[in-house]
Amino acid sequence: MMHIAKKTEPSKSKRPALRLVKTQDLSRDEWLEVRKRGIGSSDAGTAVGLNPYQSPLELWMNKTGRDGDMSKSDPNDETSPTYWGSLLEPIVAAHYTKRTGNRVRKINAVLQHPNPDYAWMLANIDREVVGANDVQILECKTAGEFGARLWRDGVPDYVVCQVQHQLAVTGKSAADVCVLICGQEIRIYRIQRDDELIARLIELERQFWRYVETDTPPPADGSESADRALRYLYPKDAGNTINFSDDTEMSATFADLVNLRADISNREELESLLKQKIQEKMGDASVAIFESGKVSFKRSKDSHGIDMNALLQDQPDLADRYPLVKPGSRRFLVST
């Protein structure tokens, strides 16, 4: 995993980016297709394994066209952070100008690194800062209740990667990140160009792009995103058996899994014992207070539903009139 240093120093000017394609008249689907031609700035953190929301494996599936009908965020879904991020971006940009006095303007193009060796490095810039000597790029962000925790110590590493990628592609020296926290707090962070970090970022991004070019999936990383990608990539089993008995690495992996599951099981039993000890002492109390915290033990509200078994006994024809087939999924079972 890449370590992101926050202390940076400005560097000398670089060549400006190429304008790969104008985006004013592009549909969202066309824009997504253009993004498959390289690693965009919002892909950078994922490509190097630092994005908490997406794994390199899922990004690889996207870049190689294997994501198909895989569930994606709907840009029109009003419950999606993506929807509110897009909707609030102009407001965040306007407030940045109000707070700093820096004028900004949109860049309606997908940018490309000017060096042919790095032609796979693309970037979309939220706003260009106009007329300021000390900063040239504005990146607008929004963070809800869940995402806000990632901003407690400043700019998250995956966003640092995104901005340094933008600075690498554009040749600029500094960017401001303006984030709206929980809809009521604006924070502005300055990120200076760090050529040492950029060199490392390019090295790791190139490794990921080789996976794309060679059509080789990158290693899974244990995330929910990787689990989702693997289940979509291999939805059905072929019924055959594969023998890893002579594969020492895979046999060691299996042994580690068995030992870890046993350890988890033992810890879960201990957790239950400790929890029950507290519950027993609480009796019918709702809350218990301790030196370092508290627990609550309250009855939830009654829920209401339909007793399907009783309903089908009374009206058995309903099962034939309203059939529902749920597609099966692969189950991972361990035997020793």
Mean pLDDT by runs of 10 across the 336 residues of the chain is 44 67 75 84 96 95 86 72 85 96 93 94 94 95 92 96 97 96 94 97 97 96 93 90 96 96 96 96 95 94 90 89 84 85
Instruction: Say if 211 falls within a structural domain.
Output: yes
The domain boundary, picked from 232, 251, 266, lies at 232
Query: pLDDT tens across 230-278, in order?
Result: 998 888 899 999 999 999 999 999 999 999 999 999 999 999 999 999 9
**Could you tell me the two tokens for 170?**
């554009």
Q: What is the pLDDT of residue 287?
A: 96
Asked if residue 271 and residue 163 are part of one domain, the reply reads: no
Q: What is the pLDDT of residue 8?
A: 42
Q: CB–CB of 221/190 below 8 Å? A: no
Asked if residue 200 and residue 98 are part of one domain, the reply reads: yes
Asked if residue 133 and residue 257 are part of one domain, the reply reads: no
Q: What is the pLDDT of residue 5?
A: 43
Instruction: Determine which helix (DSSP H) or strand (DSSP E) holds 104, and give its type and residue range.
Output: strand 103-105
| Angle of CA points 36, 20, 38, to nearest 5° | 25
Instruction: Say if 335 falls within a structural domain.
Output: no
The domain boundary, picked from 232, 256, 289, lies at 232
CB atoms closer than 10 angstroms to residue 29: 7
Q: CB–CB of 122/112 below 8 Å? A: yes
Asked if residue 107 and residue 245 are part of one domain, the reply reads: no
Instruction: Say if 315 falls within a structural domain.
Output: no
DSSP state of 114: S
Q: What is the pLDDT of residue 320?
A: 87
What is the Cβ-side half-sphere exposure of residue 248, based on CA atoms within 13 angstroms? 0
Residues in contact with 140: Cβ distance below 8 Å, sequence separation at least 6, in sequence order: 88, 89, 92, 93, 96, 126, 127, 178, 179
Instruction: Say if 334 falls within a structural domain.
Output: no
Instruction: Say if 169 falls within a structural domain.
Output: yes
CATH number, domain containing residue 105 = 3.90.320.10
Asked if residue 228 and residue 284 are part of one domain, the reply reads: no
**Measured between alpha carbons, how far is residue 28 from residues 24, 85, 180, 273, 281 in Å?**
11, 16, 25, 53, 58
Instruction: Say if 310 falls within a structural domain.
Output: no
User: Residue with structure tokens 């707090």?
Assistant: 185
Asked if residue 97 and residue 156 are part of one domain, the reply reads: yes
Asked if residue 257 and residue 108 are part of one domain, the reply reads: no
**Could you tell me the two tokens for 202?**
């390019």
Q: b or e along 45-80 (b: 16 or more beta carbons within 10 Å of the residue's beta carbon)?
A: bbbbbbbeebbbbbbbbbbeeebeeeeeeeeeeeee
Gap between the Cα atoms of 194 and 127, Å rounded: 20
Asked if residue 273 and residue 226 are part of one domain, the reply reads: no
The domain boundary, picked from 186, 201, 232, lies at 232
**Could you tell me the two tokens for 179?**
């984030």
Asked if residue 216 and residue 89 are part of one domain, the reply reads: yes
Asked if residue 252 and residue 112 are part of one domain, the reply reads: no
Domain count, the chain: 2
**Measured between alpha carbons, how far is residue 327 from residues 93, 228, 300, 324 in Å?**
45, 16, 32, 10
CB atoms closer than 10 angstroms to residue 251: 12
Give the residue from 4, 16, 48 showing the smallest Cα distance to 137. 16
Asked if residue 226 and residue 160 are part of one domain, the reply reads: yes
Instruction: Say if 111 falls within a structural domain.
Output: yes
Instruction: Say if 323 falls within a structural domain.
Output: no
Residues in the chain: 336
Asked if residue 198 and residue 127 are part of one domain, the reply reads: yes
**Could you tell me the two tokens for 109?**
């193009």
Q: Indicate the SS3 state at residue 186.
A: strand
Give the range of the structural domain holding residue 286, as residue numbers without chain letter: 241-297
DSSP state of 121: B
